[in-house]
Amino acid sequence: MGAGREVAISLDGVRDKNVMQLKKLNTALFPVRYNDKYYADALASGEFTKLAYYSDICVGSIACRLEKKEGGAIRVYIMTLGVLAPYRGLGIAKDTGNLLACSDKQ
């Protein structure tokens, strides 16, 4: 993972069949145990919750929830954003956040 190398990062949505990967990442990344509502909110957010892969290895995630504001507007709240320590500094969190910003404009 040295400097100057092309980094193969891909993002995938969180679904029922891969939500366990999000749970495992959260256990490794954060000192908090999230309840079922956290995962239900993450699944309900659709394109706003993603798993990040480095060469097919799940190394990070962004999990959001959608909140309704007065007047019918919807706000995207970032619940968690994390990358495993060996993969930090590769721009994975930045790429994940950029995708979120692009999705928010649509």
**Full-prediction pTM beyond 0.75?**
yes
Distances (CA, A) of 101 to 11, 20, 77: 14, 25, 12
What confidence score (pLDDT) does residue 1 get? 52
- Average pLDDT, consecutive stretches of 10 residues, N- to C-terminus, the chain (106 residues): 66 95 97 96 94 94 92 91 94 74 54
Give the CATH class of 9-105.
alpha beta
What confidence score (pLDDT) does residue 24 get? 97
Distance CA 63, CA 66 (A): 10
Strand partners, 98: none
The tokens describing 70, both together, are 């007065």
- Write down the domain spans for the chain: 9-105
What confidence score (pLDDT) does residue 92 get? 86
What confidence score (pLDDT) does residue 45 get? 93
